[in-house]
Amino acid sequence: MVQTKLPETRQVTIPADILQEWRLKHQVKTNDRMDASRPNAVLPLVPSKHAEKKRDLLSFAGAGKGLWGLTEQEIDATIVQLRDSWTR
């Protein structure tokens, strides 16, 4: 068991090893919400499954940058290569 302390601000610091495990298992990120309950005076902190962030269309802008090349010539060459691979 890992200990953490409760400062005057009442904000709990999650130990680094637990946070790393959460990030690997649940893809937890900064500002994600957590579900908290206290059965039998125990406070388990669990990444919330209901706190999925809704993303608007603009949040995907630039997601494919560099996918087909970085310069205009590389992009054109990739398009030509893809078109040539099509069966006719």
Q: Which domains does the chain have, with CATH numbers?
A: 1-49 (2.10.260)
pLDDT of residue 41: 67
pLDDT of residue 40: 72
In 28-72, DSSP assigns E strands to: 34-36, 45-47
pLDDT of residue 46: 65
Spans of the chain below 70 pLDDT: 1-2, 36, 38, 41, 45-55, 88
What's the whole-model pTM score?
0.36
Q: What angle do CA 86, 68, 64 make, to 5 degrees?
A: 120
Contact residues for 75 (Cβ-Cβ < 8 A; gap 6+): 68, 69
Amino acid at 43: L
